[in-house]
Amino acid sequence: MITQKEIEETIFELFKEAVIKLPDDVKHALKKAYHDETTEMGKLNLKAILDNIKSAEEMEIPMCQDTGLPIIFVKLGNVPVENLIEGIREGVRKATHEIPLRPNVVHPFTRENTGDNTGENIPQVDVEIVDGDYLEFTVFPKGFGSENNNALKMALPGEGIEGVKKFVVDTVITAQGKPCPPVIVGVGIGGSSDLAMKMAKKALLGTVGKRHPDKKIASLEQEILKEINDSGIGPMGLGGNTTALDVKIKTAHTHTAGLPIGVCIQCWAGRHATKRLMP
């Protein structure tokens, strides 16, 4: 039996890791962007980001003041689990008070703050049933400077690959510096409207720099990435060579009459952490 207490402690530790230490693939991409940057302003902003990352690790404090909306992806296998959701909620509360995380969760209309990053349907929990004898958590503290620039288009099938490419590039260019570039762009293509957006968000958990196994989709990722970076928006929207560190695509089969396209933008702080529990 995986107990509620184990779940609570796991969620707490994962949030602590995620908000303080950036994954190695993201750090490597930012260092490469700094090395390749040819503009003075772009280089200055990338250095500030890298210095910030280093200070957060050394001081063991969150790397950004916006510690995000708590989103947790769960892979649930054939294991007995005690009070899964309550364990997650308690872990978020503990993380909020002890790390600490900034209390970001408010009522959508009154804007009253709950004070502990929990509320109605929050933390946002996505449960995927999997084969295997394990329970896996991925925490994804999603900042809203980038989240506010997400977009969905229920495109028509005739728009095809070029239509997908145009919508994704236009979405990022419209956002300009608001999502704190260099960004990572998640794209979900197919399914229904909600599935397209979910895939776009899950795409952000993929390894930066690793291409899609399907060569056609991998080529589309690279084409979109090049067009975004050719825009010259640059780090923090102040000009430079790197507006996006990567573009990650996930796909699903869809209805014959539709072509849903979801775009989820992640700021340079591509924070997430994963742990698997065995019974």
Domain boundaries, the chain: 4-18+63-142, 145-266
Q: What pLDDT does 279 receive?
A: 86
Decide which of 279 and 32 is more confident: 32
Beta bridge partners of 251: 189
pLDDT (average), residues 6-14 = 98
Say whether pLDDT at 82 is over 90.
Answer: yes
- Per-residue pLDDT averaged across 38-53, rounded? 98
pLDDT in the model for residue 6? 98
Q: Are 161 and 95 in contact (CB under 8 A)?
A: no
Q: Where are the alpha helices (DSSP H) in 115-266?
A: 144-147, 160-175, 193-203, 215-229
Rounded to an integer, the average pLDDT of 248-265 is: 98
The CATH number of 145-266, from 1.10.287, 3.40.50, 3.40.30, 3.30.1330, is: 3.30.1330
Contact yes or no for 186/204 (Cβ under 8 A):
yes
- Say yes or no to pLDDT of 105 above 90: yes
If you average pLDDT over residues 222-238, what whole number do you get?
Answer: 98
pLDDT digits (tens, 9 = 90+) for 113-162: 999 999 999 999 999 999 999 999 999 999 999 999 999 999 999 999 99
Supply the pTM of this predicted model: 0.96
Task: Kindly state the DSSP code that residue 61 receives in the 8-state scheme.
Answer: S
Q: Which two tokens stand for residue 66?
A: 């916006």
Instruction: Name beta bridge partners: 101.
Output: none
Closest CA to 101 of 65, 73, 150: 65
| pLDDT, tens only, 165-204 | 999 999 999 999 999 999 999 999 999 999 999 999 999 9
DSSP letters spanning 207-235: PTTPPPSSHHHHHHHHHHHHHHHTT---G
pLDDT at 97: 98
The identity of residue 72, as a single letter, is I
Mean per-residue pLDDT of the chain: 98
Element (H, E) at 244: strand 244-254
Residues 6+ apart with CB under 8 A from 96: 103, 116, 117
What pLDDT is attached to residue 36? Answer: 96
